[in-house]
Amino acid sequence: MARAQFQKGQKVWVECVGAWAQIEKVQPVWAKGFEEPVRVTYDVGLGREFLGHELLLPSEDPAANAGETWRLMRARNKWQTAEDCPHHPFPGTYPVVVTDKADWGGWRVPGAEYDRDPDQIEFQARLIAAAPRLMALAERLAASVDEAPEDAPPEMVALAREARTVLKSVKDVLTSSADAAAAAAPRESQAA
């Protein structure tokens, strides 16, 4: 027996494709003699039907929860020894931001780019590693103002509004691409 895990219009992550999609149709497969569907598939507009285990909700998406495991590590520079680059903040190494529980996946920078401006790359690495905590801080700020907006000082209300705007640009993957496509459609019809 199978039950629908998702509903029409819901935003899901399609794991095997590596893309966000929206459920267009929930398709139960019925068999004679059973009170419930024997299987449920989902049409997300990607050319085939997907089973429930192939789809994730945004809250189940490992990338959504991976912020807890983001950390800054140092990797050995294969092309320069510590003696070749004494001007680097950490000679002989470069920063790597790891976003997976295992020690791989994440952000790295080419050696030539690191050598050009190591201080800036070190700053970027620290900023990227801190991004999930900064995002959680922005969410808490917006939520605290939402609880009692009339009691919040005007500066806090303005900060919460800006935090919501930034968070929306980070979280709304499908919305931003759909908005861009909708904005482009009138321009194309006017040009024709």
Q: pLDDT tens digit string along 86-121?
A: 888 888 888 888 887 666 678 888 777 888 899 999
CA nearest to 63, candidates 170, 190, 181, 175: 170
CA distance 53 to 9: 18
pLDDT at 79: 81
The confidence band for 2, taking pLDDT boundaries of 50, 70 and 90, is: low
CA 105 to each of CA 66, 102, 170: distance values in angstroms, whole numbers, following the listed order: 11, 8, 19
Q: pLDDT tens digit string along 10-54?
A: 888 888 887 888 899 998 888 888 888 888 899 998 889 998 888
* Res. 68: pLDDT tops 50: yes
* Res. 66: pLDDT tops 50: no
Burial of 17 (C-beta count, 10 Å sphere; 0-12/13-18/19+): middle
CA nearest to 90, candidates 103, 76, 79: 76
